Amino acid sequence: MTEFGLTCGFLICGGLTLLNLLQMYRSYRVSNRDRQISTANGTPNRPEAVEFPALQASEQNEVRLVRDMLQLRILADEDFSSPQELLQEFLRKLALLSGFSQATLFQKQSPGASRLELLSSGGCSLPPDLMSRWRTAEQATLTSCPEITPSGIWLKAQDFSRITGCEGAPLRSALIFPLSGKQSANGVLILSSEADVPAHPVISELARWVAEFLPHAFEKALNRHQLEERARRDGLTRLANRHVFEQELERQWQISRSLQSPCTLLLIDADHFKRINDRCGHLAGDAVLVCLAQIISDTVQQQRITDRPLVSRFGGEEFAVVLPECSLIGGMRIAEQIRARVQNQPMLADGHQLNDVTVSIGVATTEESDLDPAHLVRRADHALYAAKESGRNCVIRAEQKRPAASGRLQFSESKRRFAFFKSAASPSPERTGRAGSDGLSDVSLESR
């Protein structure tokens, strides 16, 4: 009987609390119009002042803060398909409520690490090339602020003009808080905008509350997301690893078959990479791979042929790019731009100036005769080997037909996974001329 009475009491109290909240919202006539984002230029509108006739300024701020905190708190109780989706939606809502363009979480991979890595972000939509420069500017901003106190840091336009690395992004405002409110914490929350966001106590208090709320409310989600990201990324280049490539190619191949839409694959190999290791050392070779990964990623994002490209490290000095809903012509254009950028980009690797780094690229697009993703990879692999034999530093495409097995790829029907291996007995592909008599044709034969 006592338990029944307590239950009724809790229900009554909860009902009264909800009624009070409804009365508060109705009496204050809170408008949602101040939270809209301009879709014309991707710039968030500044929040319009909410009028509370019967309240003082401090009381208005308190009501606004409670309202915003409630909206964010409700998100934490909703169901999402993944921790990443939960964090992205939470940060998107935070950016919307605070009037900033982006809300981003950075975290160190380990307590002793010196560099902060991107964990998750949310906010208004930005073009891919601007998004890349935006993240670089945020990284540079955090590097220039080694001591972030629990009270947070406001940065204005004049502050960014003194930070090296912010030249490429139009940042004019930022608010930074350490996660959990601890100085020198392993995680950082940064709100950034290309507009002048005036310092406001509600925005500061909301960001401080989020920095304390996130690690505790989303501890399991954050830990799971970190583990998932580490498992998905190559340790050196931070690109997607081989396992992620196989999963995504399998998925996109299935989509391509069901929707009858193209999916293009690029296989990229660094030319004479062993010579770099022998001449300059393995640390220089690692630096070259990191630089190549950055060039490939930036080029793919800038083209915007598809909103879901995947750039991955295929193995050793090889990279793979999956371009869903991208035709063979579009894939060739991206491949040629990657090749040209690498050729024209001097690289500083472990103290060595390298001006002769080039890549060879094989391009293939899905076709009806592909029985599984392995056939798409095999055709791109044939084209890559033809590029190597054509003098390197060129792009070669696979014609729309199924080639014979090269001895370099095997596919397991039981595991639905494909594995690659090099064999001394594997026949090398025939050299491809401009006539393309063997099923392959080239677009550039600028050999080095």
Tell me the pLDDT tens digit for each residue of 306-351.
557 899 999 899 999 999 989 999 999 999 999 999 999 888 888 8
Question: What is the arithmetic mean of pLDDT over 248-272?
Answer: 92
- The pLDDT value recorded for residue 2 is 45
Task: With beta carbons less than 8 A apart as the criterion, state whether 228 and 119 touch.
Answer: no
**For residue 387, is pLDDT > 90?**
yes
Output the CA–CA distances (angstroms, integers) from residue 125 to 85, 129, 349, in the order listed. Answer: 16, 12, 35
317 is known as an active-site residue: yes
Could you read off the pLDDT of 79-110 as tens digits, one per residue? Answer: 777 777 888 899 999 999 999 999 999 887 66
Cα–Cα distance, 292 to 298 (Å, whole number): 10
Among 194, 317, 318, 325, the one annotated catalytic: 317
Q: Output DSSP code: residue 234.
A: -
Cα–Cα distance, 280 to 272 (Å, whole number): 13
Could you read off the pLDDT of 170-217 as tens digits, one per residue? Answer: 899 999 999 874 444 578 999 999 999 999 999 999 999 999 888 776
- The amino acid sitting at 169 is A
- The pLDDT value recorded for residue 197 is 93
Cα–Cα distance, 67 to 60 (Å, whole number): 11
> Which of 412-423 are b and which e, b meaning 16 or more Cβ less than 10 Å from the residue's Cβ?
eeeeeebeeeee
Task: With beta carbons less than 8 A apart as the criterion, state whether 135 and 174 touch.
Answer: no
- The pLDDT value recorded for residue 114 is 67
Alpha helix positions (H), 79-182:
83-98, 128-143, 157-160
Q: Using a cut of 0.85, tell me whether the model's pTM lies above it.
A: no
Q: SS3 of 372, please?
A: coil
Residues sharing a CB contact under 8 Å with residue 260, sequence separation 6 or more, in sequence order: none
CATH superfamily of 57-229: GAF domain (3.30.450.40)
Q: What is the CATH architecture assignment of 233-442? A: 2-Layer Sandwich (3.30)
Domain coordinates in residue numbering, the chain:
57-229, 233-442
Cα–Cα distance, 336 to 351 (Å, whole number): 29
Higher model confidence: residue 219 or residue 62?
62
pLDDT category at 139 given cuts 50, 70, 90 is confident
Q: What is the mean pLDDT of the chain?
A: 75
pLDDT category at 25 given cuts 50, 70, 90 is very low
